[in-house]
Amino acid sequence: MKISATSALVLNWTDHKLWQSPETLSFNSQLDLSEGEQLFNLFSEEETFMHLQAVSGRKYFMKNTVLAFLEELSKQNQSGQVIILAAGLAPLSIEIASTFSTCQVFDVDKYLMNEKHELVNGIPPNIEFIDCDITDLNALKEKLLNRNFKMDMPSIAVMEGIIYYLPMEDLKNILQFLKQNNVAFAGDFCLKPELVNEKTRFYLSDVFRKIKDEVQLDFINFYSEEEIINLLKEAGYKKICVSNMQQIQEDRTGDKYPFSEKDSCWVMTIYAE
């Protein structure tokens, strides 16, 4: 299946070692990334290296955070649910659902959910594909309940690669909705360019300029760490952990490089409960 240029770009910028389950490898092998070639070729080898590190880091964080959440529950003989908001064609749901067969995963996006459902084809069986605009929270709640989402079961939501495309008011409402329903949160956001080290700031401004030209976006929302923490607090989250990519890079590769200097990575991760 051919996929859009920006989705293909992100899938190209992922360390393949992240995906381990045979189900995920089989899903990935069906994706045709050629649609993204023109956009991909706009980046130099050095830029490609830097974006591969940043995107792989955020994906490593999402996968490990969700798996740790589910492992903790399984130690207490409980199962959990995972909602992936703006999931796109990324394989995170497949990796999680095939690793934790007792967990129910809900992939939500306003595009391509039927196509993804067909590609996955019941392997693994514990993923629901929901066609929904994630800013329409009444519709989201109704659709989750229709697919047997259990309000009283421990749950975590993932918002990866989406916060910068949402108006702040929508992000506020989504966080409030999740917290009201007792859902833990994992996500990423991009720092305001002026908060990124001058040596690497270029990678951030340049990637969004190129993507903006490709998909004609009106705006991109960047945040400071403080602004994101305030939004989470306003939503009612109490335990909030915002991290830069240094520790994640070291855990993932054994070295902080190329994010050895303070504020050198523009992608930040969030865990809140």
Ligand X SMILES: C[S@@+](CC[C@H](N)C(=O)[O-])C[C@H]1O[C@@H](n2cnc3c(N)ncnc32)[C@H](O)[C@@H]1O
Q: Which residues here bind ligand X, judged by CB under 6 A?
A: 6-7, 10, 86-88, 90, 109-111, 133-135, 160-162, 165
Q: Write down the H helix ranges in 100-200.
A: 113-120, 137-146, 168-180
CB of 186 to ligand X, least distance (A): 11
| Strand 127-131 to 183-190 pairing | unpaired
**By C-beta, is 20 or 260 nearer to ligand X?**
20
> Rounded to an integer, what distance in angstroms lies between the CA atom of residue 184 and that of residue 179?
7
3-state secondary structure at position 120: helix
State the nearest-atom distance from the C-beta of 238 to ligand X, in Å.
26
Nearer to ligand X, 78 or 114 (CB): 114
Closest distance of CB 110 from ligand X, Å: 4
In the bound state with ligand X, the residue whose beta carbon lies nearer, of 40 and 197, is: 40
Closer residue to ligand X, CB minimum distance, 63 or 179: 63
Q: With respect to ligand X, which residue has the nearer C-beta, 86 or 178?
A: 86
Pair 159, 85: CB distance under 8 Å: yes
Shortest spacing between CB 270 and ligand X, in angstroms? 14
Strands (E), the chain: 81-85, 104-109, 127-131, 155-159, 183-190, 240-243, 267-272
Residue 157 Cβ vs ligand X, minimum distance, rounded to whole Å: 12
Cis peptide bond prior to 154, omega within 30° of 0: no
